[in-house]
Structure 1
Amino acid sequence: MDYEFTIIVPLYNEEENLIRVEQELKKYQEKALKKTCILLVNDGSTDNSLAMVEEIAQRNDSFKYISFTENRGLSAAIKAGFDYADTPLIGYIDSDLQTDPEDFNLLMEHIGDYDLVTGVRTDRKDSFTKNMSSWVANVIRRSFTHDGMDDTGCPLKVIKADYAKRIPMFKGLHRFLPAMIMLQNGKVKQVPVRHYPRIAGKAKYHLWNRLAGPFIDCFAYLWMKKNYINYKVGKKG
């Protein structure tokens, strides 16, 4: 089928969430503004996630999956999704479903004029520690990237595929998607989206990797910004 939009769902040890992921994304497909398929990316889970992913893909033609041989992290899972998606538009949502798939339609309303549209979580349903560490991490990142984004950690984004596939790979990539689009002279926009508490599974990030990781990764971004190759072809024959 000629799909127009691929939703990437990275997952690591999320067996408690996967049936709900299947149900909620199937509901969204019925309301989606673009013909939508789902790409589940299993990041080397050690629980029953892979078996469940295989079953979900077997009973849903519009669900596909790839599975890493070992855990490589969220950035690697997102990058693999970019590499394997074959639609003009690519989206991303976390398997904990703390954001609502239906809000992809809010982002879709703006993607024609922009190259990346990202959600901004309103009225966040996380703990004080998690909210505060995310706020500090965003302040650190903005001071390095000057991307103007308030919530790059929001796991709800839509990106034009030709931009997504040109993003170079490095650890911590998921924190810098708007900045990486801007390095390509792309246009980015943020849109408020809903946020819910996690109701199953365990969070994979804690205070240390929410603060130390973004700070260290900012230096990788500065190196990449200095050395990034960007070009446009004017003519070819």
Structure 2
Amino acid sequence: MSHPELSVVVPVFNERDNVAALVAEITAALRGRTAFEIVYVDDHSRDDTLAVLQGLKATTPELRVLHHVSQSGQSTAVRTGVKQARGAWIATLDGDGQNDPADIPKLLQARAAADARVKLFAGWRVNRKDSGSKRWASRWANAIRARVLQDATPDTGCGIKLFEREAFLDLPYFDHMHRYLPALMQRAGWSTQSVPVNHRPRTAGVSKYNNLQRGLVGLRDLRGVAWLITRSRRTAVEER
């Protein structure tokens, strides 16, 4: 497929037990609705995630598999997938199965009803299925981020998002940037919209982060994003 309308990008690390079910759910949600491709980016998994993905290509013609030769992190995996994607719009999902692919059509419907300046539709987990400590840490982090960045986004950590490929690739790249996409899109002059989505408990595998890791990295990145916003300069351009 040379020019799908949508590319679904899924970064994964050690998710061999979640891959097949999620691929099946993506195809069930999108076949017959839009021309799409699925771009999995294996971030140098230590289990047989890559082999499972390669096996699924025989029965899933929409599936493409990219592999990092060294582990590089989720933001880099997302950017790898977006750079290689053929669609003008990108939907992202976490590879752990907690995001529901059935919500992708909901994001597409929101895009169809929105102003053209909205370049990012961010999932908003209104009924999270994580542990109590993880939900508390997320609320704390979102409150601080919203106060500092004023991005009017209740949930930037949700993995399911829909955005324009060109707009994303124009953003400054740094590790963990995927957690700040609304603020970065707004910095670039675009509008963003939050859309309530489903959230599911993890049924296989283990989380790759703990609350302390997220908190320490998040505070450092938050300062960096705030600095980027203060240094931003935009102007309209006319061709004459």
TM-score between both structures, scaled by the size of structure 1: 0.93
State the partner residue of 1:12. Answer: 13
Q: SS state of the match for residue 115, structure 1?
A: strand
- Classify 1:151/1:48 alpha carbon distance in 2 versus 1 (closer, same or farther; 3 Å): same
Deviation at 1:233, TM superposition (A): 4.1
Instruction: Tell me how far 1:151 sits from its aligned partner.
Output: 0.4
Tell me: CA distance 1:228–1:77, structure 2 relative to 1, closer, same or farther (3 Å): farther
CA distance in 2, matches of 1:61, 1:231: 43
Aligned to 1:153, the other structure's residue is in SS state coil
Unaligned runs of 5+ in 1: none
Distance 1:230 1:99 in 2: 34
Distance 1:202 1:59, change over 3 A: same
Q: Supply the AA of the counterpart residue of 1:44.
A: H
Give the 3-state SS of the residue equivalent to 1:41 in structure 2.
Answer: strand
What residue in structure 1 maps to residue 181 of structure 2? 177
Cα offsets for 1:20-57 (capped at 9, x unmatched): 1221112112254x321100011111110111122223
| Offset at residue 3 of structure 1 (A) | 0.7
Give the whole-Å Cα distance in 1 for the aligned partners of 2:78 and 2:96.
Answer: 15
Residues 38-187 of structure 1: matches in 2 within 5 Å? Answer: 38-112=38-112, 113=115, 114-187=118-191
Is 5-14 or 156-165 further displaced after alignment? 156-165
1:6–1:85 Cα contact (<8 Å) kept: yes
Distance 1:11 1:31 in 2: 26
**8 Å CA contact 1:140, 1:214 repeated in 2:** no
| Pair 1:213-2:214 in alignment | no
Q: What amino acid maps onto 2:9 in structure 1? A: I
Aligned to 1:29: 30
CA distance in 2, matches of 1:155, 1:213: 18
Say whether the 8 Å CA contact 1:136–1:211 is kept in structure 2: no
Shift of residue 227, structure 1, vs aligned partner: 3.5
Question: Letter of the aligned partner of 1:95 in structure 2?
Answer: G
**Quick one: structure 1 residues 68 and 232, their matched pair in 2 at CA, closer, same or farther if it must change by over 3 Å?**
farther
TM-score of the two chains, using structure 2 as the length reference: 0.92
Whether the 8 Å CA contact 2:30–2:105 is kept in 1: the answer is no
Aligned mates of 1:4, 1:198 — CA distance in 2: 30
Alpha-carbon distance, 1:59 to partner: 3.3
Name the residue aligned to 1:198. 202
Cα contact 2:153–2:194 (8 A) shared by 1: yes
Please provide the CA RMSD for this pair.
Answer: 1.6
Once the 2 structures are TM-superposed, how far is the Cα of residue 130 of structure 1 from its aligned partner? 0.6
One-letter code aligned to 2:74:
L
Deviations 1:71-101 (A, max 9, x none): 1111111111221112111010011121210
Cα distance in 2, alignment partners of residues 155 and 73 from structure 1: 14
Percent of aligned pairs sharing the same letter: 29
Secondary structure of 1:9's partner?
strand
- SS of 1:158's equivalent in the other structure is strand
**1:215 corresponds to which letter in structure 2?**
L
d(CA) in 1 for partners of 2:77, 2:190: 23
My pick for the range that moved more, 215-224 or 123-132, is: 215-224
The verdict on how the C-alpha distance between 1:165 and 1:231 changes in structure 2, with shifts beyond 3 A counting, is: farther
Q: 1:226 aligns with which of 221, 226, 230?
A: 230
Counterpart residue type for residue 86 of structure 2: D
Query: What SS class does the counterpart of residue 176 from structure 1 fall into?
Result: helix
